Amino acid sequence: MGLFAASGKGVIRSMYMDSKSYANLVPIDATVNALMVFSWYYLAHKDAPWVYNLCVPQRDIKLTWTDVMEHGKDVINTRVPFNNIMWYPGGAMTKSRLYNKINIFLFQIIPAMFIDMIFVVLGYKPILYNIQMRIKKGAEMFEFYTTKAWDFDTKNVECIRTKLNKTEKQLYQLEADNFEVKDYLTDAILYCRRHIFKETDDMLPAARRNMKIMFVLDRTVKITFFVLLAYFLYKSLFYMFS
């Protein structure tokens, strides 16, 4: 959730990942259920295996990282926006390490340094550059899982599922058959709002209004930038060939 928290605040503008790779996501409650079931089975059977991969078999995965990010953007921008955002959430996913480094430098590092300079002038402690460095390190750890296709052996988990009776399967659900990504992300981002950023639910209407304002500002800045760039190129070509 750190990724969505930072993205929702507008401080992450680029991610190095294979957008077409599948996201092997398991809800945390299924993980807790699995810990209890696997512990019981291992203690009750001397010949029980001791490695259990609670993952979605590759044949059943239908969710790409693009799907996850699009759902996340929709939740952050419309359902559960954050307060006090730095910029309108957005950015790019890319498989090019060079393009990602350029994006991070232009749209994360430089703005952070510029704002930190303003903080210093105003007598405040600069913090954004250090935050960006921590985000960069965290994103580099995340890259290992988002740039590769993973296929875990889940036969031990599937074997245990067959050992559970109907009541146990309901109490200790290990499957993610009814897993709704958007609802899951909504709950997770709400948790970030309430317990990490200490933003109360009564601030949500103001956050939604602020998000709309930031959307207009974001589009205005981008349009202005490209208009000025086109004008500069036109003038340069005009003088070059005149």
- 115: Cα within 13 Å, side-chain hemisphere: 15
Q: What is the pLDDT of residue 57?
A: 67
Q: What is the pLDDT of residue 48?
A: 82
Rounded average pLDDT over 208-237? 92
Angle, vertex CA 2, rays to CA 198 and CA 135, nearest 5: 110
Long-range contacts of 234-237 (CB under 8 A, 24+ apart): none
Q: What is the pLDDT of residue 178?
A: 65
Residue that the structure tokens 């601030």 belong to: 203
Residues 16/97, Cβ–Cβ less than 8 Å:
yes
pLDDT digits (tens, 9 = 90+) for 24-53: 777 788 889 899 999 988 888 888 888 888
Q: pLDDT grade, residue 69 (50/70/90)?
A: confident
Using DSSP's 3-state secondary structure scheme, residue 50 falls into: coil
Q: Which pair of structure tokens corresponds to residue 67?
A: 């799907």
Q: What is the pLDDT of residue 220?
A: 95
Nearest to 17 by CA among 55, 64, 60, 59: 64
- What's the rounded Cα separation, in Å, for the pair 209 and 198? 19
Higher-confidence residue: 28 or 217?
217
Q: What is the pLDDT of residue 177?
A: 63
Q: What is the pLDDT of residue 117?
A: 94
pLDDT over threshold 90, residue 213: yes
Rounded average pLDDT over 73-98? 90
Using DSSP's 3-state secondary structure scheme, residue 88 falls into: coil
Nearest to 151 by CA among 61, 68, 62: 61
Q: Which helix (H) or strand (E) holds 81?
A: none
Task: Please tell me the pTM assigned to this model.
Answer: 0.75
Long-range contacts of 187-193 (CB under 8 A, 24+ apart): 188/1, 188/4, 189/1, 189/4, 189/5, 189/8, 189/72, 189/75, 189/76, 189/79, 189/80, 190/80, 191/1, 192/1, 192/4, 192/5, 192/8, 192/82, 193/80, 193/82
CB atoms near residue 18 (< 10 Å): 17
pLDDT over threshold 70, residue 180: yes
Q: What is the pLDDT of residue 116?
A: 93
